[in-house]
């Protein structure tokens, strides 16, 4: 068993596997007591994610606790921004803050191309160490934010409810926004290549806020840049499976399947059976248990996992939540999720 490639990697590549692999978006973080303790000692998010010892340690916390089939780098989608000349911070209870939001063409022209080796050496170091530590017991996952979602942060300057600032740019000065999206697409593709070269075996692109676009605008401002990233990465790294996640994706599911990614990650507002039938057979599905179920009883969690896995039967499936695990989730329930996930083939047969 342990000398074959990690289950998640084999499944993501479309090989037939003994059970669906399981991991969780945001599986490292605030719901874990060990994380909160470490956060008290190192209150800066930038430090926790950019100091390689801390980032490595936090990435390993859920692996030690639950042995998921995937170990995701502890970092953030905003981590590459300073390497392009955009400073940010993540402030407790406020979320991400961009020091100087990007709103003009001259600011976009002044952005630097990302040189991941120079500006993000800690990411390479952590991925290398994770690979060495987990061996074939789990796959190491890298990730990036997609151009639209990164643009939403840097233009708005913070998390937004209605995206008025970036939408005013999109519908008044679309060429300016396209320049920014294009800049991000190239830099993000290079960043993914660097992550893969450093040890990431499967990569996920989060276009978390692309679900805020109408499908017509998704086709203009999100999909072409997702595709540009996928095409650039596939040019050099054709064998690395790529996953695409969007929050609130029900209106654009079919479109997600056309970006060239190998796996589409569903949120929980789409029934797994419907999601499977709306995407071509050769595309794998990830998801899609409601993170809110993890506030429920162990029976409720087990039932929902069984239902999800049954509905995805016959498909390439990676069991996951429909979005990140929520702060305040009882750790015991995260354990139920992983344990049930790993024995589900015995329960559904
Ligand atoms: O999955 C993992 O365990 C890897 C870690 C990870 C983080 N952020 C750590 C983090 C990942 C994959 C991300 C991606 C990310 N970051 C996304 C895409 C995923 C999604 O949720 O849609 C987005 C949109 C961001 C931007 C971001 N970073 C937000 C909105 C916040 C604040 C959220 C909040 O609830 O306060 C962050 C901060 C952040 N990134 C935290 C963690 C664990 C929480 C802050 C902390 O622990 O101090």
Is residue 95 in some structural domain?
Answer: yes
Is residue 340 in some structural domain?
Answer: no
Is residue 291 in some structural domain?
Answer: no
Report, as residue numbers or ranges, the catalytic residues. 26, 30, 39, 76, 153
Question: Tell me, what CATH number does 35's domain have?
Answer: 3.20.20.210
Please name the residues in contact with 254: beta carbons below 8 A apart, sequence gap of 6 or more: 278, 279
Task: State in Å: Cα 167 to ligand 1 middle.
Answer: 23
Is residue 294 in some structural domain?
Answer: no
Is residue 293 in some structural domain?
Answer: no
Minimal CA–CA distance to 205: which of 162, 263, 165?
263
As a whole number, mean pLDDT of residues 130-142 equals 98
Q: Residue with structure tokens 């654009």?
A: 252
Report the distance separating Cα 52 and Cα 22, nearest Å.
25
pTM of the shown model: 0.97
pLDDT tens-digit series, residues 329-349: 999 999 999 999 999 988 776
pLDDT tens-digit series, residues 235-279: 999 999 999 999 999 999 999 999 999 999 999 999 999 999 999
Q: How many structural domains are present in the chain?
A: 1
User: Given pLDDT bands bounded at 50, 70 and 90, which one contains residue 325?
Assistant: very high
pLDDT at 5 over 90: yes
Query: Ligand 1 pocket, 44 CB below 6 A?
Result: no
Nearest CA to ligand 1 atom 43: 29
Range of the domain at 272: 2-286+315-323
Please name the residues in contact with 10: beta carbons below 8 A apart, sequence gap of 6 or more: 4, 17
Is residue 182 in some structural domain?
Answer: yes
Pocket test for ligand 1, best of 24, 25, 26, 91 (most atoms within 8 A of CB): 26
As a whole number, mean pLDDT of residues 154-176 equals 97
Collapse the DSSP code of 308 into the 3-class scheme (helix H, G, I; strand E, B; otherwise coil) and give the result: helix
- Check the CA dihedral 267-195-123-132 and report its sign: positive
User: Given pLDDT bands bounded at 50, 70 and 90, which one contains residue 92?
Assistant: confident
């Amino acid at each position: 068993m342990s000398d074959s490639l990690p289950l998640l990697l084999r499944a993501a590549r479309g090989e037939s596997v003994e059970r669906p692999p399981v991991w969780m978006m945001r599986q490292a973080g605030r719901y874990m007591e060990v994380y909160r303790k470490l956060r008290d000692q190192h209150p800066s998010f930038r430090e926790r994610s950019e100091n390689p010892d801390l980032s490595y340690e936090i990435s390993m916390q859920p692996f030690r606790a639950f042995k998921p089939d995937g170990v995701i780098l502890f970092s953030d989608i905003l981590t590459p921004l300073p390497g392009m000349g955009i400073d940010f911070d993540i402030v407790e209870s406020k979320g991400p803050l961009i020091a100087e939001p990007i709103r003009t063409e001259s600011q976009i022209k002044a952005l630097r191309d990302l040189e991941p080796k120079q500006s993000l050496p800690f990411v390479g170091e952590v991925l290398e160490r994770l690979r060495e530590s987990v061996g074939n017991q789990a796959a190491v996952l890298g990730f990036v934010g997609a151009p639209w979602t990164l643009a939403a942060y840097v233009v708005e300057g913070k998390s937004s409810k209605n995206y008025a600032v970036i939408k005013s740019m999109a519908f008044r000065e679309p060429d300016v926004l396209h320049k920014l999206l294009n800049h991000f697409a190239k830099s993000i593709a290079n960043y993914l290549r660097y992550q893969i070269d450093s040890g990431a075996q499967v990569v996920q692109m989060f276009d978390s806020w692309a679900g805020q676009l109408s499908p017509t605008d998704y086709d203009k401002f999100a999909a072409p840049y997702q595709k540009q990233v996928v095409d650039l990465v596939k040019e050099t790294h054709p064998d690395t499976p790529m996953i695409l996640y969007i929050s609130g994706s029900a209106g654009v599911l079919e479109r997600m399947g056309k970006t060239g990614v190998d796996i589409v990650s569903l949120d929980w507002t789409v029934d797994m059976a419907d999601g499977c039938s709306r995407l071509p057979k050769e595309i794998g599905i990830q998801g899609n248990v409601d993170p809110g179920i993890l506030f429920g009883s162990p029976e409720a969690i087990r039932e929902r996992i069984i239902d999800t896995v049954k509905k995805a039967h016959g498909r390439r499936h990676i069991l996951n939540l429909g979005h990140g695990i929520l702060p305040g989730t009882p750790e015991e329930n995260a354990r139920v999720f992983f344990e049930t996930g790993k024995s589900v083939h015995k329960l559904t047969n």
